[in-house]
């Protein structure tokens, strides 16, 4: 399969099809490596958009999906339930954080992270309507990204550049800076005080703002957001599409000091094997939908909701978190990322180097990172920088030598860029 032939009928995501180079044809993958049609292997530094936490082709997940395929590959989820979904919902509810006020114990399944966020937004609006209030607006944070569907893009920072073509179509929402200090906490409080009766929920990516720029914040910032929502009687939605399942060093980025009212999961939920997402509501949110009035029911139902194959994969993925030392592996990855990327700090044009869990980031002083992509493939690694960010988010099972190859490649490519000082329109020419 040639590069040219592989795109004859395709329309690729986030790609200007008139000018983009031909994509790399992939024929297989195993562990932390992607195998190309020409026989080369690339070390995957981004886990296929942060999904492959256990690596490609883990035998336990493969066996679970194969067994499920023999019994029940799919069935509608309206008026019918099945054991893989029941088991998965119970296991998620038992694992998610809770406190004396909230228990995240009602799981609504869908197929993608964007839809999980869309479901959360709809739940929040209807929660207030069922309680006799009309609240249709949301407050989100600058630097945040929450998906590509219309509701999800409305709470994505308009400055991220993902949806500029739809600027006149998106629903306007409120945006604030993350409350990292007294001034930004006061600003958030003022926004909620002024608009609290209009706001259905605050939406946040706990600990890491992902596709908006890999920006980190601490647990105290997250707790401040929870406190502000409580003070102004506003729901809190945690978008853990990226951060869920160990990526930041704990199983979930939300904790007992900042339990959300609604939490969204996807990406690593099935270990990257099949599409699946979950929107998990706290008990008091679910209670607002239970009455003798039909109009109080939540009217949303994806066709492939709770697909049994995907649920089987997700249950197998949870087995691996129980049986194998995933969080210890993430801790080791964080240590190696910090050490391996540290040389970039001294390079001209590098604004910051940071790591949390299995995420390592080199931030440049200008948005030229996409031009560096070919240089990584030439070095035998799959890294997809964007904006001003060169980042790594490898599978948790990656071997130390492969992770060293990734961090070395990042340091080499960024150093070469730093010497050449390329413009956004001039991709790096590698040695």
Question: What single string gives the DSSP state of each residue in 80-140?
Answer: ---HHHHHHHHHHHHHS-B-SS-BEEEEEEESSHHHHHHHHHHHHHHHHHHTT----EEEE
The total domain count for the chain is 2
| 172: pLDDT strictly greater than 80 | yes
The answer to the question of residue 370 being in a domain is yes
Average pLDDT over residues 208-235: 97
Is residue 315 located within the same domain as residue 221?
yes
Compute the distance between CA of residue 7 and CA of residue 152 in angstroms, rounded to an integer.
29
Catalytic residue among 148, 239, 388, 402: 239
Tell me the DSSP string of 277-317: EEEEEEHHHHHTT-SS-GGGS-----TTTT-HHHHHHHHHH
Catalytic residue among 56, 157, 267, 391: 267
Long-range residue pairs from 215-222, CB within 8 A, at least 24 positions apart, any chain: 215/143, 215/178, 216/354, 216/356, 217/178, 217/180, 219/255, 219/257, 219/258, 221/178, 221/179, 221/180, 222/253, 222/254, 222/255, 222/257, 222/258
CB–CB of 245/321 below 8 Å?
Answer: yes
* Shared domain check, 278 and 246: yes
Residue 227 shares a structural domain with residue 250: yes
Asked whether the beta carbons of 23 and 3 are under 8 A apart, the reply is yes
| Catalytic site includes residue 391 | no
Active site residue 255: no
Residue 42: what pLDDT? 98
Kindly report, residue by residue over 195-216, the tens digit of the pLDDT: 999 999 999 999 999 999 999 9
Catalytic residue among 56, 127, 145, 391: 145
pLDDT, tens digit, 9 for 90 and up, residues 357-403: 999 999 999 998 889 999 999 999 999 999 999 999 999 999 999 99
| Residue 16: inside a domain | yes
233 in the same domain as 209:
yes
- Residue 315: which pLDDT band, with cuts at 50, 70 and 90? very high
User: What CATH code is carried by the domain that includes residue 114?
Assistant: 3.40.640.10
Q: What percent of the chain has pLDDT over 70?
A: 96
Pairing of strands 41-44, 174-176: unpaired
324-347 average pLDDT score: 98
* pLDDT for 425: 37
> Which residues lie closer than 8 Å to 208 by C-beta, 6 or more apart?
214, 215, 216, 217, 242, 243, 247, 248, 253, 356, 359
Q: Could you tell me if 279 and 264 are in contact, meaning their C-beta atoms sit under 8 angstroms apart?
A: yes
Could you tell me the CATH number of the domain that includes residue 346? 3.90.1150.10
- Among 277, 297, 323, the domain-final residue is 323
Is 145 an annotated catalytic residue? yes
Q: What integer pLDDT is reported at residue 421 of this predicted model?
A: 63
Q: Is there a single domain that holds both residue 122 and residue 253?
A: yes
Please indicate, yes or no, if residue 426 is contained in any of the structural domains.
Answer: no
- Do 34 and 82 fall within a single domain? no
If you average pLDDT over residues 261-279, what whole number do you get? 98
**Same-domain check for residues 162 and 296:** yes
What pLDDT was estimated at residue 202? 98
| Judgement on whether residues 163 and 224 belong to the same structural domain of the protein | yes
Domain that holds residue 67: 63-323
The full DSSP string for 229-274 is: HHHTT-EEEEE-TTTTTTTTSSS-S--TTS--SEEEE-GGGGTTSS
Residue 217 in any domain: the answer is yes
Whether residue 104 is contained in a domain is answered as yes
- In a domain? residue 425: no
Last residue of a domain, one of 303, 323, 343: 323
pLDDT at 164: 80
| Structure confidence at residue 375 (pLDDT) | 96
Report the DSSP beta bridge partners of residue 204: 238
- Structure confidence at residue 226 as a pLDDT band (50, 70, 90): very high
> 24: buried, middle or exposed (CB in 10 Å: 19+, 13-18, 0-12)?
middle
The strand pair at 33-36 and 359-364 is best described as: unpaired
Q: Are residues 302 and 333 in the same domain?
A: no
pLDDT of 254: 97
Of 281, 303, 323, which one is at a domain's C-terminal end? 323
pLDDT, the chain, mean: 94
Output Rg (C-alpha) for the chain, integer angstroms: 22
Spatial separation of the C-alpha atoms in residues 192 and 315, rounded to whole Å: 39
Residue 428 is predicted with a pLDDT of 39
430 lies in some domain: no
Catalytic residue among 14, 38, 99, 233: 14
**Is residue 365 annotated as part of the catalytic site, yes or no?**
no
């Amino acid at each position: 399969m040639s590069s040219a032939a592989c795109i004859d009928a395709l329309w690729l995501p986030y790609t200007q099809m008139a000018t983009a180079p031909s994509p790399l044809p992939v024929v297989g993958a195993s562990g932390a490596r992607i195998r190309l049609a020409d026989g080369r292997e690339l070390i995957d530094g981004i886990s296929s958009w942060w999904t492959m936490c256990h690596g490609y082709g883990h035998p336990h997940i493969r066996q679970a999906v194969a067994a499920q395929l023999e019994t029940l590959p799919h069935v509608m989820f309206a008026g019918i339930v099945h054991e893989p979904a029941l088991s998965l919902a119970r296991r998620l509810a038992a694992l998610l954080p809770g406190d004396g006020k909230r228990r995240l114990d009602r799981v609504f399944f869908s197929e993608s992270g964007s839809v999980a966020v869309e479901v959360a937004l709809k739940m929040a609006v209807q929660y207030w309507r069922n309680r006799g209030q009309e609240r249709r607006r949301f407050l989100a944070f600058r630097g945040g990204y929450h998906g590509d569907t219309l509701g999800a893009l409305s709470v994505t920072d308009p400055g991220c550049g993902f949806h500029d073509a739809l600027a006149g179509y998106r629903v306007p929402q409120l945006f604030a800076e993350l409350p990292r200090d007294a001034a930004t906490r006061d600003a958030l409080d003022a926004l909620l005080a002024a608009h609290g009766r209009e706001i259905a929920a605050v939406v946040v990516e706990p600990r890491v703002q992902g596709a908006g720029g890999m920006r980190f914040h601490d647990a105290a910032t997250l707790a401040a957001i929870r406190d502000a929502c409580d003070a102004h009687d506003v729901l809190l939605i945690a978008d853990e599409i990226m951060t869920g399942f160990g990526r930041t060093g704990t199983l979930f980025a939300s904790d007992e000091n900042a339990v959300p009212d609604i939490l969204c999961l996807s990406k690593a939920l099935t270990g990257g094997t099949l599409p699946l997402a979950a929107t998990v509501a706290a008990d008091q949110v679910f209670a607002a939908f239970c009455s003798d009035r039909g109009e109080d029911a939540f009217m949303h139902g994806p066709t492939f909701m709770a697909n049994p194959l995907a649920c089987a994969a997700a249950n197998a993925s949870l087995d691996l978190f129980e049986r194998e030392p995933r969080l210890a592996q993430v801790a080791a990855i964080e240590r190696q990322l910090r050490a391996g990327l540290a040389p970039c700090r001294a390079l001209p044009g590098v604004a910051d180097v940071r790591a949390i869990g299995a995420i390592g980031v080199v931030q440049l002083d200008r948005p030229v990172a996409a031009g560096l992509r070919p240089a990584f493939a030439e070095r035998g690694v799959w890294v997809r920088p964007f904006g001003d960010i060169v980042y790594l988010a490898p599978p948790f099972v990656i071997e130390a030598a492969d992770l060293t190859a990734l961090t070395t490649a990042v340091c080499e490519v960024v150093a070469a860029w730093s010497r050449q000082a390329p413009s956004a329109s001039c991709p790096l020419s590698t040695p």
